[in-house]
Structure 1
Amino acid sequence: METNLLATIEWLQLFGSTPLEILATSSAIVAVILIARQHMLGWPLGILWASLSAWLAITEWQLVSDGILYLFYIPIQLYCWRAWVIGGAVQTAPFIPRWLTGQRQLALLVAAIICIVVWGQGILVLAEQVSWIPQPSLLWLDATTTVLSFFAQFLQARKRMENWVIWTIVNMLGIYIYWLKGSPIYSIQYGIFLVLGIYGWIQWHRSCQSCPQSSAVNP
């Protein structure tokens, strides 16, 4: 029994895992699967994941942007949960996934680039002025994933298909970032997110095809 316990501990250490990382990863994976299937329970699990990840990002990995992102995720997940409840219960037209217009996609791209630059510079200033905030690590990669995650989350709340495209970029960068930070289980988590993002896109695309576009008007 003792030998098995020691073997388990060594396996967890090999993958750089802690109980908090394992719990956060598990809740995140289930949450993404449920959201891909347009199930409401994905959002409370997302809140659990965000809370644990905020603690880990700031205290363990010094990823300041990611830590702030995870903290913001908590009210954002509540907003998304509410948006889906209202969208599904109040609207007379089907609340189904849709694409933005080409003009709005271009505006989204420009806004994202501007926000990444502003966010990155803001984090540098904040780290210099606030003593308890550590010097940011991987500043621009971290800023990019943070800003794009905000955009993707709000697009997901409105069931816009572009959210899955943005999540793909975030997940690919996340694999690289957390591997560099010595947390292979979080790298694996983002790899799973990448696969689930493709699954989510397929599921939402089927919803798009199942309803006439003329009657599907999302908020």
Structure 2
Amino acid sequence: MNPIEWLAAALGVANIALLVRRSVWNFAFGMAMVALYLVVFWEARLYGEAGLQVFFFAAQGWGWWLWVRAGGEESRVPVRWLSPLSRMVWIVATAALSLNLGWVMHRFTDAALPYADSAITGASIAAQILLGLRRVENWILWILIDLASIAVYLTKGLHPTAGLYVLFLALSVMGLREWVQAAGRPTR
């Protein structure tokens, strides 16, 4: 058992629980979690996800800044839906990023699961940006990411992390429900 992985998983639980509640304090736990997961994923040769942790660290800081500006530290931040055109742009851009990253990792590295890793990485980048922008669709992406991640982590023997992502999946469903309620009906 890797104590770094267990600590990262515990920080992740706090991070997502605070996200569901739309609390700005989620970002402090998120930054600590991703710093530890960089080490865990690098050791597992999941290079896309290791690199993703660097992006997540910066995105957590950016998200924290945006959320404080949007709702203050004590209140729950407002959330809303993407427009239909924006949804299509996000889907196409995420797919293009994922496929290209998968090809690069397959061709130029010894990545364990280059295309699965890149799909999770590309979708996670999109979801994290949408989270910072407080868009409801981030939770839909996180649900898909959680499902794929559970399979990858079980394949790589990262059992505490797979367990964390089962919990993330449940919390993501809760987050989607709460944010849908807070945002109201999507635009058509």
Listed as ranges, the matches of 1:6-155 within 5 Å are 17-59=1-43, 61-89=44-72, 96-127=78-109, 135-155=110-130
Shift of 1:122: 2.7
Q: TM-score, normalised by structure 1?
A: 0.79
Separation in 2, partners of 1:183, 1:122: 24
* 2:147 alignment partner in structure 1: 172
What is the CA deviation profile of residues 35-59 of structure 1, one whole-angstrom value per residue up to 9, with x for unaligned ones?
Answer: 1101111101001110100001002
Q: CA deviation at 1:126?
A: 4.7
Provide closer, same or farther for how the CA distance between residues 22 and 80 of structure 1 changes in structure 2, counting only shifts above 3 A: same
Counterpart Cα distance in 2 of 1:195 and 1:123: 30
Task: Please tell me the residue identity of whatever aligns with 1:191.
Answer: V
User: Aligned equivalents of 2:69 and 2:59: distance in 1?
Assistant: 15
Structure 1 gaps, min length 5: 1-16, 128-134, 214-219
> What secondary structure is seen at the aligned counterpart in 1 of 2:120?
helix
- Provide the C-alpha distance between the structure 2 equivalents of 1:205 and 1:24, rounded to a whole number of angstroms: 28
Q: Distance in 1 between matches of 2:10 and 2:141?
A: 22
Percent identity for Structure 1 against Structure 2 = 24
Is the counterpart of residue 206 in structure 1 residue 181 in structure 2?
yes
Counterpart position of 1:132:
none
In structure 2, the residue corresponding to 1:39 is in which secondary structure?
Answer: coil
Contact 2:23 2:77 (8 Å CA) reproduced: no
Normalised to the residue count of structure 2, the TM-score between the two structures is 0.92
* Structure-1 residue corresponding to 2:170: 195
Residue 183 of structure 1, CA deviation: 1.4
- Structure 2, unaligned runs of 5 or more: none
Per-residue deviation, 1:88: 1.8
Two-structure CA RMSD over aligned residues (Å): 1.8
* 2:27–2:63 contact (8 Å) kept in structure 1: yes
1:95 deviation in Å?
A: 5.0
Runs of 4+ in 1 over 6 A off after TM superposition: none
The structure with the largest alpha-carbon Rg is 1
In 1, the alpha carbon distance for the partners of 2:116 and 2:104 equals 14
How many residues align? The count is: 183
